[in-house]
Amino acid sequence: MKKIILFVLLGILGILFLLFLVRLISPKEIDDVSPEISCSEKYLKKSSILWVIPKFQGELISEDKEWCKYILSLNKTLGLHGVTHEFEEFNSNRNQSYLDEEIKIFEDCFGFKPEMFKPPQLKISNKNEELIKNNNLKLKGKFNQIIHKVYHCNDTGKFSNKFIDLF
Ligand SMILES: [Zn+2]
């Protein structure tokens, strides 16, 4: 009996250690990038992928050209992170024109179309999942969040950015 417990414990430790290594080498990301949310430049620069909210609190990113220029100057991969980022936005079904608007705002700001999508709070309905895939957007969800270090602007994630830095 004792041996079994020991094996299980070693197994769990092994998996955690593996996860630690995977997170160490996989590119870092930052969620909730918007001109309306203050974001530490330190974490923007540390990240390879910036997840942008196109229309947070009704403000279009495309209307803040300075911000668009600044984000482009960081030379990072940019992805779509919902439209307005309201709570579980993509857990209720959205249609093509809803997504079209989002893609247009993104394109007006950065000059190219997004290729990746991460739903707010990582919640997405089956129908929306299809919608995202039909638009040739790569969908990133919970698994992606576990195997990458993901910071949050404003430090509002489940774990603080400092903790993410450590693990
Ligand atoms: Zn978010």
pLDDT in tens, 31-50: 999 999 999 999 999 999 99
Separation of 88 CA from ligand 1 center, angstroms?
10
The model's pTM: 0.93
Residue 142 has a pLDDT of: 94
Separation of 73 CA from ligand 1 center, angstroms?
22
Question: Which residues, by Cβ under 5 Å, contact ligand 1, an ion?
Answer: 31-32, 120
Structure tokens at 119: 């739903």
Beta bridge partners of 80: 52, 117
Q: 64-74 as b/e, with b when 16 or more CB fall inside 10 Å?
A: beebbeebeee
More confident residue, 117 or 158: 117
